[in-house]
Amino acid sequence: MTGRARLGWYCVLVAGPLFVVFGELGFWLNGITPRETFPLDLGVSSLSIASGLVLWRLRPDNRTGALLALSGVLWTIGGIRAYRDPWAFGVGQCFDGSQDLVLAHLLIAYPTGRLGRRSLRVLVTAGYGLFVLGVVKTATMDMPRQFNAFAVWHAPRVHSALGTIGSVGAGVYATTGIAIVGSRWLRAGTTRRRVLGPVLLAALLFAFADAVDQIVLAITGSEPDVVFFPPLVARLVIPLAFLFGLARARLDRVAVGDLVRELDASGAETMQSALARALHDPGLRVGYRLGDRDAFIDSDGRPLALPVDGSDHAVTYVSRNDVQLAAIVHERALLEQPALVEAVSAAVGLALDNERLHAQLRNQLQELRASRTRLVRTADSERRRLERDLHDGAQQRLLALGLALNMLRARVRDDDAVQLLAEAQEELATAVRELRELARGIHPAILSDQGLAAAARTLATRCAVPVEVTANGRRFPPAVETAGYYVIAEALANVIRYSGASRAWIEIGEANGLALIAVGDDGVGGADAGVGTGLAGLADRVGALDGRLVVTSAPGSGTTVRAEIPCA
C-alpha cells in the first residue's frame, strides 16, 4: 500500500465514526429515532461502512465493498434531516430510502460487484430512477420553505401519488433483486453457493421482516416503537452477510496450509480429492500434462477432457519453472477467487509434479500393456488362421491327390508303375501326417472346440512321462485357454528335456476370478525361469493378460510352473 493510500485509510478510520455518530445523534436528539432503536440504527450504518471498507481492502477488484460502505453512508445522510435547517432537511429527505436502492444494486451485482448483462444494467439504472422520484417528492412536499429548502412546488396530490409509485416501485425492485440472486443460487455449483448463500439468506430475512412490518402497520395503523425492530435487526445482518460471503474465499486460503500438511501426511490421499476439499468443489478434477503433447491425463492415466468455453467449468493451469505441469478443472465460479486458486496451485506445485510423473508412468504402462495384449491376440489369431489354411487348403488338396493316385493304381497294369504309385502314396501319407502335426503345433483345434481340459489331456497322452490330469471341463475365455495351453505345453516340454522326472501332473482350476493352471513334476528341480527355458516367453504371454507366472524349482524337489490368469 502506498503512503498516500495509507493516509486515506487513516482519514476514513477517524472521519467515518465521527460522521456516523453525528448523523445518528441527530435522529436521536430530535426524537425521530426512538431511544430503543438507536443502538440498532447506529449499528446498521457503522456495520455497513465497516464491513464495506474491510471488503474493499480484501477484494479491491470487487465493487461490493465500496457499494456496501456507500449504503451505510446513505443510511446516515438521512439523519441530517433532524438538524432544523431547511437545506439539511431537504438533502436528508431526498436521500431517505436511497440506501435500499444501493443494497438492491449490490444484490443484483453480487458476487462480482459487476452487472455484466445489459438487462441488469437497465434494471439497476431504473432503480436509481426511484432516487430522482424521491427528489421530486421532496420538492412537492406540503411544507413551508423555511423548513424545507427544496419545497419549490406546492402539489400535495402529486406528492402522495409519487409516494405510492415510489413504495410500489421499491417493493418490485427489491423482490426482483432477491429473485435474481435466488435463481443464481439455484443454478450455482458448490463453490458459488458458498458465496451466494449467506447474502441470499439475509435478503430473504429482511424481505420477510419488512413484509411483517408492513402488514402489522396496515392492521394496527401506526405503532413504530414495536414494529421497527425486526427490519432493523435484519438490516444489521445484511452487511455481515456480504462480508461473510466474500471473505469466505479469504478464509479458505487458510485451508491451503492444511492442504499442504495433508499431502505430506498421507501419501494415499490423492491430489485431486485434497484439492477438491480445499477449494470446496467436489467435482474438481486434476489433469496432468502428457509429455510435450497438448493432452491431459487423470491420475489413473486415462485421458481427461478439458471443459469448453461457455461451460460452467473452467481450467486453471499449474506451471513450475515455466513448464506447464497440470490443469485443474473446476467450477467457473472459482475464477472469482483468483488469489485462492493461485495460492493452492503454488502450494501443491511440487506434489503435482510428482503425481504428474506418476500419472505419466501409469499411462505409458497402460499403453504398453494394451499393446502387448494386442500383439499376443494378433499372434494367436494369426496362428488360428494359419492352422485353418493348412487344413482346409493344402491338406484337402493332398487328400484329393491321394484319391486320384488310388484310382490310378487300380487302372495301371504295369508292375513297376504300380510299385512306384505305391511309394508315391506312402510319401503322400507321410506328408499328410507331417502337415497334420505341423498344424497341430501351430494351433490345436481341440483347444478351441473342447477347451483347455480336453487339450491338456491330449498333451498328457503325448507326453513321454506319465502325466496325471486334474480338471473339470469348465471353459475359460479363448485368450486365457490359449495362454494356459502354451504354459502346459512348454512346461511338459521342459519336464522331458531337463527334469529327469518319472511322473508329472497338470491341474486346472478356478478361484476368485482367476484361472489357475499348474504343471508339476518330481524331477531334479533347479529350473531357471529366466532365459533359455522358454518360461520367460510364457511369463510375457501370461502377463499380457494381467496374469502372473510363478516357477517353484528348488534343487532336488521337482519343478512347479503355476499360472494365475484373471478370467472373470
List, in sequence order, the alpha helices (H) in 110-228: 118-139, 156-187, 190-220, 224-227
Candidates 160, 220, 378, 502; binder of another protein (CB under 8 A) is 502
Q: In 3-state terms, what secondary structure has residue 291? A: coil
List phi, psi (to 5°) of 45: -70, -45
CB of 311 to another protein, least distance (A): 49
Compute and round to an integer the Cα radius of gyration of the chain: 44
Q: Does 362 bind another protein (CB under 8 A)?
A: no
Instruction: At 294, list the grid cell.
Output: 497438448
CB of 509 to another protein, least distance (A): 18
Candidates 58, 454, 524, 529; binder of another protein (CB under 8 A) is 454
CB of 535 to another protein, least distance (A): 24
Place of cell 445484511: 238
Q: Does 420 bind another protein (CB under 8 A)?
A: no
Q: What angle do CA 302, 304, 305 make, to 5 degrees?
A: 145
Q: Report which of 9, 101, 107 is spatially closest to residue 64, judged by C-alpha positions.
A: 107
Nearer to another protein, 447 or 517 (CB): 447
Nearer to another protein, 326 or 489 (CB): 489
Q: Does 474 bind another protein (CB under 8 A)?
A: no
How many angstroms separate the first and last alpha carbons of the chain?
66
Q: Does 503 bind another protein (CB under 8 A)?
A: yes
Q: Does 275 bind another protein (CB under 8 A)?
A: no
Q: Does 446 bind another protein (CB under 8 A)?
A: yes
Q: Does 321 bind another protein (CB under 8 A)?
A: no
- CB contact at 8 A, 567 and 515: yes
Q: Does 440 bind another protein (CB under 8 A)?
A: yes
Q: Does 369 bind another protein (CB under 8 A)?
A: no
Instruction: At 472, list the grid cell.
Output: 473339470
CB atoms within 10 A of CB 496: 15
CB of 386 to another protein, least distance (A): 13
- CB contact at 8 A, 510 and 451: no
Q: Does 11 bind another protein (CB under 8 A)?
A: no
List phi, psi (to 5°) of 418: -60, -45
Nearer to another protein, 77 or 456 (CB): 456
Piece of the chain touching another protein by CB under 8 A; list 128-136, 350-358, 421-429, 507-515: 421-429
DSSP structure class, residue 307: P
Q: Does 432 bind another protein (CB under 8 A)?
A: yes
Candidates 12, 88, 212, 463; binder of another protein (CB under 8 A) is 463
Nearer to another protein, 282 or 473 (CB): 473
Q: Does 449 bind another protein (CB under 8 A)?
A: yes
Q: 514 to 543, contacts with another protein by CB under 8 A?
A: none
What region does 311 belong to: left with phi over 0, alpha with psi -120 to 50, or beta? beta
Q: How do 560-566 and 514-521 pair as beta strands? A: antiparallel
Residue type, 35: R
Q: In 3-state terms, what secondary structure has residue 509? A: strand
Candidates 406, 419, 470, 557; binder of another protein (CB under 8 A) is 406
**Which residues are at the interface with another protein (CB under 8 A)?**
388, 391-392, 395-397, 399-400, 402-407, 410, 425, 428-429, 432-433, 436, 439-440, 444-446, 448-450, 454-455, 457-458, 460-466, 468-469, 502-503
